[in-house]
Each structure stands twice: as C-alpha cells, then as structure tokens.
Amino acid sequence: MTSESLTKNYSLGAALRYHEATKHSELSMRMSAHYLDWDNRPSPFKVYRNLTSTALPREFPQPQGDSLRAIRGEKTGNTSNDLNLQVLTGLLYFSGGLTRKVRIGSETHYMRAASATGALYPIESYVITQDIPGLDAGVYHFNPFDFALVKLREGDCTPELADATAGATASSPLSIALTSLAWRNAWKYEERSYRHWFWDGGVIAANLLAICSAENLDSKILMGFVDSEVDQILGLNKEQEATVAIAALGKGGKKPAGNPLDKTHADLETEPSSPSSIDYPIIWETNKASEFHERAEVETWRHGLASGTVRAGGGPKFQFPPPIEKSPSLTEVILRRGSTRRFVQGPISLEALSTIIDASTMSIPVDFLSGNDSLIDFYFIANDVQGLPPGSYYFDRRTKSLEQLKEARLRYVSGYLCLEQLLFSDASVVFFLMTNLREDLGKLGDRGYRAAQFEAGIRAGKIYLSAYAQGIGASGSTFFDDAVTEFFSPHAESLSTMIAVGVGKPAYKARPGRILPQPISS
C-alpha cells in the first residue's frame, strides 16, 4: 500500500466536512429554497435497453422460520440450503421485490419488501454468480418491475470480484451487490442524500441477512472493496451510480478456469431516469475520498476497528424482561412491514421494547466488525412504555440494561428532534442511533463514515422487522443533527446521529402486502 493511499483514506477531512455541511437545523430548513419538481421525478426502476432478460421463477422458497430468531441472526431452518435459481429468487424478492401496488389519484405506486427514504428506492441489486442450478454464470441486474434478471456479462466474474474484495468472496458461488443510483434520491434530499445510500442499502441488507438465517445460508456483508473494479464489473456509470455494499452468499464456490475478465462492456444503455438531473459535487467528492484503489488497502482496513467506548453514566438502571420468543414467519412479517404514517398515542409493553432492542443490537456479519463489536449506540425517548417511566434512555450493550438519562414527558421533544413531525410525537418510542464519528474515522478512515451509516441502516431495518413481528408499527426519520446531540448530552456530547426510527401503535389497520412475482406491467 502506498503512503499516499494511507494518507488519503485515513485523513479525517472529507467525511467530517460532508457531515457538517449536510446537517439539518431549524435555520437550514427554513432557509432552504428546494422544492420538488414532480414533472422531473425519477423513475423508481432502472431499465436497460436491448439486453437479454431471464424471467425469474414464479415459485420460490418463502422463509417460514420464526421471524424474530431470523432477525437476531439465528439459523432457523432444519437443513443447509444450497444456492440455486429458486433460492436466489427468494432472496431477491424478499429483499427488494414488489409487495404492494397502490393507486393514488391517477398514479400507480409500487412498494417494496424493504423500506426506502421517501419511497424513492435508489438501491439497485446486481448478481455476480458462478454456474448454479437454473442460472448460467454471469453478471445480472435484478429488475423487480418485470421480475427478471437482465444479463450484463456472460461467464464467471467471481475471480475478479474476489480480487476486488481482497478474497472475501472467494468461497462464495454467488454475491449480490447493492448500488446507489444517486439522482433518484438526490431529487428530494439533495446533498444529504449520500447518507441515504447507506440507510436504504442497510435496510435491504437487514432483510437479506434475516432471509439467509431463515434459509440456513451463509452470508456476510462487505463494505471493503476496490471501488473502481467492482463498479466496472457491474458497468456502473461514473459519478451517477456507485457500489454501496456486497453480500457474499453461500459456500463451496468453485475455482474457475478461463480467461481474465474483458473489462469492456457491451452497450449498457438505459432509459433516462428523469428528463433532467442536478449534480451535487460534494456527494462524489466524499465518496471518492473514501474509495479504495488497492487490495492491500482493503485488507488493512478490515483490521482497523477496535471495541468501542463504553458510555457508562450514573443514571438509574432498568433491567429488561426476557424478549418474546415466538413470532410469525419471516415471510409474513416482510409482507406485513410498511412505514407507519400515523401512530395513536398509546403504550407498548416493556417486553415489546426489550424484543426490539434485543433483535436489533445483536452482532451482525459485516467485514468491519468482529464478534459483538458495534459502531452504533442506541439512545431513545420513551413516550409510552408500560413499566418504564417516560423519559430519555441509553441502552448499555455490555450489561444489556437501560440507563435513564432524564425522567420527563417528552412527546414534544421527540417530534421536534425529528424535524417537528407530529408522527414522532405520537410514537411510543423514538430511537436515535448514534456514533462517535471522530473515533470511527480515526480507526477506519473516511470509509468509516460509510460503515457507520450502513451499520445504522442495518440496525434500523432490524427495528422495523422486529416491530412488525409483534404487530407494532415503525417509521424512519431524519432529524436536527446538533439538537439531538445536545438533548442527550452530556452523555452523548461526542456523538453524531446516523438515523432515527419511531415505533408505536399504528392509528389504522394496514392491509398486508402480497407476493406479486408476475410482471407488474401485465
């Protein structure tokens, strides 16, 4: 690794500059001149022109294991499943497939298996595979609208992917790459949308990991890879889209024989996302500052994290009751999941809160963490939890207990912190997932910003799933950055918020989604 590479990736400049520049405050929100140009709204689907598609099977496994066990990462199936086209189809469907078709006025909207900020769905899924039963080796794009795989490359590209990931995918016959089509989310969220790459990618990864647990399938999420090489394998357009993360799946991949990858691509022309787009240079400057250019950089980065700081305080401690052990199938929960638009002011049980925190703070198989390490701390405002005084709290991962920071009725505060939204005043609990950003970047360089945001996205996805597994609603939110830190200080004075999620009793009964694997256009 060159000294220049080390200096670039372990400087604290770019990520902190981006984070500070994209903070929300009362002043920044009131002074913003941004408006939504609905005539220029990006399409939620990426469509390739003149490329071969493979229709996905209409019958595929539906994970039937206990959902909470799967969300926690416990293997719930009786036997280990080998990868084939049917298993892959289930993974793609339950992580990014269409579950609802809703008509609002003259427009039809499609909802997917995992949530997305603003329902804009900027994350695309690509498959890099060896020959598996039912599917030839190649690189494919998943088109949820037509429920098909679009072939981008023929032949086995897994050796090149293994090289770009410093060997992390070498034993996996198949990987799923998550990418961000940047303009799709920037249309609404402008420069701040870079954060959303990792939130939206993280909730999809939460679904993927739960499905793999339910199917007894080995899985690991990778944030360390040589960016330009992976983007080139996928044929991504520079400074329009980029790879966010890679899920390495299964084991027993064959060592392929053949010619090196032809780095040129066939014509990968796509339909325009919208009539015009706006460039936000700070997004690409930040992403470029955290890129890896050599395999050695990836290897060094993966060993950069040490255990985080324990944030002990002197507040009253509350012990949790045991979490709920029995829940519906993962298929039922994913189809039930939505984003609650209205909460009724009412209590959830302490057992329900315990279950959500237990499921969402378990160790996760990502390459920048080992064992029970985590970059993310859980702070929350409890507005209405049976058996828990209303107030603000910190979850101590070491003792698995709650530390009370302030006892008070704080409904107004929880709504105010979430951009003055009544939804989060009505929520029973509002979580703020926080991290010591300077500490993260000191250990993991500018790429640590991606890692912290992505881990928060995964844990937010687990909050969603474990809430809906208990019949509770959930909704994600943005927030006034410095106001959140100030509210939870002095306990959280060095921390930055990555994402916020409210949970509580929905004010309406939502119709569950359903499996819509047929081409939606038919």
The arithmetic mean of pLDDT across residues 479-492, rounded, is: 97
In a domain, 341, yes or no: no
CA distance 363 to 102: 36
pLDDT band (50, 70, 90) for residue 509: confident
Quick check: 498 pLDDT over 90? Answer: yes
Q: Is the pLDDT of residue 327 over 80?
A: yes
Q: Which residues are CB-contacts of 299 (< 8 A; sequence separation ≥ 6)?
A: 166
Q: Residue 78: its pLDDT value, please?
A: 58
Among residues 52, 205, 25, the alpha carbon closest in space to that of 143 is found at: 52
Tell me the chain's radius of gyration from C-alpha atoms: 22
Whether residue 352 is contained in a domain is answered as: no
Q: Is 338 exposed, middle or buried (0-12, 13-18, 19+ CB in 10 A)?
A: buried
pLDDT of residue 370: 87
Residues 276/180/214/350 CA torsion (nearest 10 deg)? -90
- Strands 429-435, 496-506: pairing is antiparallel
Please state, for a pLDDT cut of 70, what percent of the chain lies above it.
Answer: 92
Residue 501 CB contacts under 8 Å (≥ 6 apart), including other chains = 430, 431, 433, 460, 463, 464, 474, 475, 476, 477
d(CA 103, CA 106): 7
pLDDT digit string, tens, across residues 147-182: 999 999 999 999 999 999 999 999 999 999 999 999
pLDDT digits (tens, 9 = 90+) for 380-438: 999 999 999 999 999 998 889 999 999 999 999 999 999 999 999 999 999 999 999 99
Per the structure, how many domains does the chain have? 1
In terms of residue numbers, what domain contains 86? 36-280
Confidence of residue 88 (pLDDT cuts 50, 70, 90): very high
CATH classification at residue 208: 3.40.109.10
What's the 3-state SS for 247-304? Answer: EEECCCCCCCCCCCCCCCCCCCCECCCCCCCCCCHHHHHHHHHCCCCCHHHHHHHCCC
Cα distances from 463 to residues 124, 217, 350, 393, in angstroms, run 22, 22, 15, 17
Q: Is residue 303 exposed (0-12), middle (13-18) or buried (19+ Cβ within 10 Å)?
A: exposed
Distance between CA atoms of residues 168 and 150, nearest Å: 25
Across-strand partners of 153?
139
Place of tokens 């019949």: 471
Write down the pLDDT at residue 11.
46
Under 8 Å between Cβ of 172 and 142: no
Within-domain flag for 2:
no
Q: What is the mean pLDDT of the chain?
A: 90
Residue 352's contacts (CB-CB under 8 Å, 6 or more residues apart) are 324, 470, 472
| 322: DSSP letter | P
The pLDDT of residue 265 is 63
> And the tokens for 84?
């084939």
pLDDT score for 8: 43
Q: What does each C-alpha distance from 212 to 63, 74, 198, 203 come to in angstroms?
A: 9, 10, 20, 14
Q: Average the pLDDT over 272-299 and give the result.
A: 95
26-39: per-residue pLDDT in tens? 999 888 888 899 99
Residue 6 lies inside a defined structural domain of this protein: no
* CB 185, CB 22: distance < 8 Å: no
| C-alpha–C-alpha distance, residues 52 and 152, integer Å | 8
Q: Which two tokens stand for residue 417?
A: 């912190």
Q: Tell me: the pLDDT tens digits for 139-148?
A: 999 999 999 9
The model's pTM = 0.94
Query: For residues 305 and 261, what is the distance between their CA atoms, to the nearest angstrom?
Result: 33
Asked whether the beta carbons of 503 and 428 are under 8 A apart, the reply is: yes
Please report whether residue 206 resides in a domain: yes
Is pLDDT above 60 for 515? yes
* Confidence at residue 512, expressed as pLDDT on a 0 to 100 scale: 83
Q: With H, G, I as helix, E, B as strand and everything else as coil, classify residue 122.
A: coil
8 A C-beta contact, residue 382 and residue 345: no
Place 519 in a pLDDT band, splitting at 50, 70 and 90.
Answer: low
Longest dimension (CA), the chain: 66
Collapse the DSSP code of 376 into the 3-class scheme (helix H, G, I; strand E, B; otherwise coil) and give the result: coil
DSSP string covering 409-466? --HHHHHHHTTT-THHHHSSEEEEEEE-HHHHHHHH-THHHHHHHHHHHHHHHHHHHH
- Residue 76 counted as domain residue: yes
How far is 221 from 226, CA to CA, in rounded Å? Answer: 15
137 CB-near residues (< 8 Å, 6+ apart): 129, 130, 131, 154, 155, 156, 157, 158, 256
Which is nearest to 187 in space by CA: 101, 246, 273? Answer: 273
Residue 522 buriedness (CB in 10 A; 0-12 / 13-18 / 19+): exposed
Domain-embedded: residue 70: yes
> Mind listing the pLDDT tens digit for each residue in 37-83?
999 999 999 999 989 898 999 999 998 889 999 999 998 765 556 89
Copy the structure tokens of residue 127: 């498959």
3-state secondary structure 332-350: HHHHHCCCCCCEECCCEEH
